[in-house]
Structure 1
């Protein structure tokens, strides 16, 4: 993956190393730094509908996490674990803000994360959060459909927005397809019955 931060800047940050299964950022803490992964992988885990541990999101080399929490001064929502041995750099708040001012790509990624969080808050206000994944997915599809009823939001972004797994999204799509409400393929989801979908979210 292409690095979001230029490699020649890495020497200015504090390095860290974690063993497999160790927590890099802990749920509930207010972080003092964001983490840039340079080697290995890190994951956020959740429980799927059957009660099994599943990966909600996988961070790969070049990605940053903890940045949104620093900028918004909020607590970490979910613990980030090392998936295998991994290394990276810690970036303090002042350094992160300076990077955002000079790096448009990094600023865009932070904006996208903020937009997903706002979308989830919108689902909470409409009462969609706390309902089944299929019902929450129906609300998400309705909110992101174009005038032709087509949704091109990537499946992983759907999963992130709904705080579920890719498997959870695929299962929910299957239920909506079986009910004749949507048609899904690899690239898009087409709404076949907007009114019926809207009725699910009430």
Structure 2
């Protein structure tokens, strides 16, 4: 079930740039640059798309993925979010910009798929034993931040906050390749979602 939800949300993130303008045709009359694409320099690989819908509200979707084996033998994860950004500046100041800017409050809904494999010792045949964690979860949270719209459409954003992956919406599996024992060690840590970002992008 979780895998299906993750695939649907990833599809929604990828298609939202096409559907959001249809749902918010009036926004082009409010802003000369209603769209923003940006990336978070504190995340391995990330893409954010934001669309201004009203003078104070923007909808944002994001995808972040990583598949490397630098720290462990194998690491794979995909995160996808749907976020609502509420800008708090005075309306006159917001309308003086090409895109909403200033301080904002940002509730979000997030799905995550994670796989982590590491060699931790020797198995019964004197080969390395593999420790594997698989997590599929859905969670929510809140961030706060500040966004600047610079000259010629360049965007700088700072954001910080966090959320929680409830146990009822999480599928967690931790196994040893050569062991019949299943452990939940580290599960509490994986249920937390800390978000800090320094993003640079472009409004258009």
TM-score between both structures, scaled by the size of structure 2: 0.21
Choose between structure 1 and 2: higher helix proportion: 1
Higher Cα radius of gyration: 2
TM-score between both structures, scaled by the size of structure 1: 0.21
